[in-house]
Structure 1
């Protein structure tokens, strides 16, 4: 016989799977985006989600009903990535973001970001920039900063949720997001102005 998460009654494996799928399905799109940022490869991202889902289902009896399934699953996703993919990647070394210049786009947002992205003025700026440019800029960040910024700026997770998922202190989350934003400014500046230059060239040719 299968079991429900902690606090539930014993159920058949089929019913347990139904309960698990009902919670996993609504977050699959978000999980894929997060996995894609981890692996930087579409096929690897789906493989990572598949492996993480298997691990999560095996441990579903340990999930406490009524708590945050999304954070719980993302923690398993992160652990699965670390075990299976991280050691094989050559670009996992964090750069010293303190060496990055303070740049251009978010001059009025050089402050410690709020605990929740809902009240963050930087998100208002990001919303006005083409989504593909924002995603490309975040993809260019070193891995530690990329994951923290992606979860905060694109997936609307709080500091505490990110700390739980990445299994790091909340102070480290604050630091990574702050430093990542500084790097993100330069990346977005380059992308925006590259696009403007290309558009001007096209107009000149016409």
Structure 2
């Protein structure tokens, strides 16, 4: 019976966030198949370690932290750089964001594009992961700074700094796009 009650408690506490976990995985990976795998791995780890979850605390933040750790491990296994960026790299990334980057289509992207707008989705996809994760957690998932700090394992000041830079990159890209479109309309 212990196993059944544990499973039931997990379902009640954690499964309500399945869509949000998948959505965050999709925003981080920018690939539907990888996001599905990452969400599945997150829930497997969460169930395995559910005895470590403190009832009454924020289950969503706990799941997001598991997801983020699984994602970081996945990226490291693939031999890619995860989140460590120095100031020179940050400046280069700002330029890259403005120059453009490849985006990946999926049904969720299509829905988000209709609701939020293609330009914002494209801008989010162009953000380097270090900024994209905090912007998505804050502005899409509506997590508090404290929750984001817990999920990312960084101080709250770092969250605020990354969020500020990420939003600034988004704003610059969208402003540039608006100017380009205005120029096209003026030329007609």
Flag whether TM exceeds 0.5 (same fold): yes
Q: Secondary structure at the match of 1:83?
A: helix
CA contact under 8 A between 1:20 and 1:57: conserved in structure 2? yes
For 1:51-75, what per-residue CA distance to the aligned partner results, in whole angstroms no more than 9, with x for missing partners?
1101010100111111110111111
Shift of 1:26: 2.1
Indicate the residue corresponding to 1:24 in structure 2.
Answer: 14
CA contact under 8 A between 1:39 and 1:85: conserved in structure 2? no
Shift of 1:193: 4.9
Indicate the residue corresponding to 2:107 in structure 1.
Answer: none
CA distance in 2, matches of 1:164, 1:18: 26
Indicate the residue corresponding to 2:151 in structure 1.
Answer: 165
Change (3 A) 1:38 1:87: farther
CA contact under 8 A between 1:151 and 1:157: conserved in structure 2? yes
Change (3 A) 1:192 1:18: farther
Structure 2 unaligned runs (5+)? 96-114
Decide which structure has greater helix share. Answer: 2
For 1:131-178, what per-residue CA distance to the aligned partner results, in whole angstroms no more than 9, with x for missing partners?
432222111111101111111111111111000001111111011011
CA contact under 8 A between 1:163 and 1:173: conserved in structure 2? yes
CA contact under 8 A between 1:23 and 1:69: conserved in structure 2? yes
For the aligned residue pairs, the C-alpha RMSD in angstroms reads 2.7
Shift of 1:192: 4.1
Change (3 A) 1:100 1:42: closer
Q: Secondary structure at the match of 1:96?
A: helix
Query: Would you say how many aligned residue pairs link Structure 1 and Structure 2?
Result: 164
CA contact under 8 A between 2:93 and 2:128: conserved in structure 1? no
Q: Is residue 73 from structure 1 mapped to residue 73 from structure 2 by the alignment?
A: no
Change (3 A) 1:99 1:133: closer
Q: Is residue 56 from structure 1 mapped to residue 43 from structure 2 by the alignment?
A: no
TM-score (norm 1): 0.69
Counterpart pick for 2:90 among 68, 77, 96: 96
CA contact under 8 A between 1:20 and 1:60: conserved in structure 2? yes
TM-score (norm 2): 0.75
Q: Is residue 139 from structure 1 mapped to residue 129 from structure 2 by the alignment?
A: no
CA distance in 1, matches of 2:178, 2:7: 46
CA contact under 8 A between 1:140 and 1:187: conserved in structure 2? no
Q: Secondary structure at the match of 2:127?
A: coil
Q: Is residue 148 from structure 1 mapped to residue 134 from structure 2 by the alignment?
A: yes
CA contact under 8 A between 1:71 and 1:165: conserved in structure 2? yes
- Over 6 Å off, 4+ runs: none
